[in-house]
């Protein structure tokens, strides 16, 4: 069966969605804010390396760090505050994705070669449980056994086919983000984030695309992070960015879907509502990027980079900065290895 790319999937899903709607006024409002952020450099490629938990150098070891982290970059939400997975690093408490980054820092400091596929292709559940241990005594990282399975799968493939480093995958792709995306989803099944929707096979590829986006941002689009077609990568459809898109009036949920989300009922990965939320998020951010480009061009700034990756970074950071306010908007909850 022919698989639509994430960009095509977003367009297709948004066209046939029954419970998620994209609002043109919201697109314009957010595009204005994005264009201003790009002009004043609040939204830029440098944000990745400026975070203390991310690699500070752009080298081959950073590529393998990013690959390890994005293999495990899924499902960090908790049912309540008491069971929130937290990791303390340098006196600061981190949650979610940054708790994962902090646990990697902690493991490396303890002398555990956690980002080496020789190690993680054989890591035991007990070892990974220790590496990802929470500083909240009531919490454990969700889906531990699935994380072990993912690490075994990708680690073995890197050892057998790519000389034990994701750098070799990059070198096969001729600086093409699309070539790399296809390599990732073909070689590493745990990145194959697809669903059936209205008779078509659609691809969301959140973790595969964020892996490419993180390498691009870490290397500031140069060297191993240079991709001539980086603008073909979409936003990374998770459970938090759609929440911000609703806040901005870019997305609107039907009353029926809103009630379902407020009930805290789990949405199954691949279910119609879940696919609509993720697909419409992709299309909405692409439309915001197009509108922001037009705005900047009309203001004589056509040289400035606008990408769905940078808009995703901005929205994701916005959610973390305004977490309490955004809790009024329910987010969809799914137990999945894909996001």
What would the pLDDT profile of 269-317 be if each residue is shown by its tens digit?
999 999 999 999 999 999 999 999 999 999 999 999 899 999 999 999 9
How many whole angstroms separate alpha carbon 102 and alpha carbon 299? 41
| Domain assignment of residue 194, yes or no | yes
Closest of 37, 48, 44, 41 to residue 219, by C-alpha: 48
How many H-runs (helices) and E-runs (strands) does the chain carry? 16, 7
| Domain assignment of residue 319, yes or no | yes
Active site residues: 238
The proportion of the chain whose per-residue pLDDT surpasses 90, expressed as a percent, equals 95
pLDDT at 48: 86
pLDDT at 1: 74
Name the residue with higher pLDDT: 46 or 149. 149
pLDDT at 214: 97
Q: What is the mean pLDDT of residues 102-125?
A: 98
**Worst-scoring range by mean pLDDT, 44-48, 138-142, 204-208, 334-338?**
44-48
Give φ, ψ of 4 to 5 degrees: -70, 140
Full domain range(s) for residue 67? 6-327
| Domain assignment of residue 337, yes or no | no
User: How many folded domains does the chain comprise?
Assistant: 1
Q: pLDDT of 209-227, one tens digit each?
A: 999 999 999 999 999 999 9
337: number of Cβ within 10 Å:
19
| Domain assignment of residue 201, yes or no | yes
| Domain assignment of residue 213, yes or no | yes
The proportion of the chain whose per-residue pLDDT surpasses 70, expressed as a percent, equals 100
Sign of CA dihedral 332, 335, 338, 339: positive
pLDDT at 47: 83
Q: pLDDT of 9-42, one tens digit each?
A: 999 999 999 999 999 999 999 999 999 999 999 9
Distances in Å between the alpha carbon of 306 and those of 25, 187, 208, 223, 287? 20, 30, 20, 20, 12
Q: pLDDT of 51-83, one tens digit each?
A: 999 998 999 999 999 999 999 999 999 878 788
pLDDT at 49: 76
pLDDT at 300: 95
Give me the DSSP letters along 41-93: TSSSTTHHHHSTTS-SS-SHHHHHHHHHHHHS------SSGGG--EEEETTEE
| Domain assignment of residue 126, yes or no | yes
Q: pLDDT of 247-274, one tens digit each?
A: 999 999 999 999 999 999 999 999 999 9
Structure tokens, 171: 């070198």
Distances in Å between the alpha carbon of 95 and those of 99, 128, 146, 297? 5, 17, 20, 38
| Domain assignment of residue 333, yes or no | no
């Amino acid at each position: 069966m022919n698989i639509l790319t994430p960009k095509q999937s977003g367009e297709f899903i948004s066209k046939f969605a029954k419970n998620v709607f994209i609002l043109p006024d919201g697109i314009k409002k957010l595009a204005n804010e994005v264009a201003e952020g790009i002009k004043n450099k609040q939204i830029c490629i440098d944000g990745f390396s400026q975070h203390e938990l991310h690699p500070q150098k752009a080298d081959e070891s950073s590529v393998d760090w990013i690959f390890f982290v994005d293999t495990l970059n899924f499902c960090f939400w908790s049912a309540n505050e008491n069971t929130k997975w937290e990791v303390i690093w340098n006196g600061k408490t981190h949650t979610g994705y940054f708790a994962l980054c902090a646990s990697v820092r902690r493991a490396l400091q303890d002398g555990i070669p956690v980002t080496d596929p020789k190690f993680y292709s054989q890591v035991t559940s007990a070892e990974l449980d220790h590496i990802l241990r929470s500083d909240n005594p009531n919490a454990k990282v969700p889906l531990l056994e699935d994380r072990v399975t993912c690490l075994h799968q990708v680690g073995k493939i890197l050892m057998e086919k790519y000389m034990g480093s994701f750098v070799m995958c990059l070198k096969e792709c001729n600086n093409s983000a699309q070539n790399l995306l296809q390599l990732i989803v073909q070689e590493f099944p745990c990145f194959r984030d697809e669903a059936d929707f209205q008779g078509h096979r659609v691809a969301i590829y959140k973790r595969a695309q964020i892996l490419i986006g993180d390498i691009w941002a870490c290397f500031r689009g140069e060297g191993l992070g240079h991709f001539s077609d980086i603008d073909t990568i979409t936003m990374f459809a998770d459970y938090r960015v759609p929440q911000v898109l609703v806040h901005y009036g870019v997305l609107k949920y039907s009353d029926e879907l809103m009630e379902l989300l407020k009930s805290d009922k789990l949405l199954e990965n691949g279910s119609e509502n879940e696919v609509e939320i993720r697909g419409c998020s992709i299309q909405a951010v692409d439309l915001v990027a197009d509108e922001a480009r037009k705005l900047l061009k009309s203001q004589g700034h056509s040289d400035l980079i606008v990408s769905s990756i940078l808009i995703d970074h901005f929205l994701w950071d916005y959610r973390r900065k305004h977490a309490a306010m955004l809790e009024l908007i329910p987010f969809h909850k799914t137990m999945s290895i894909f996001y």
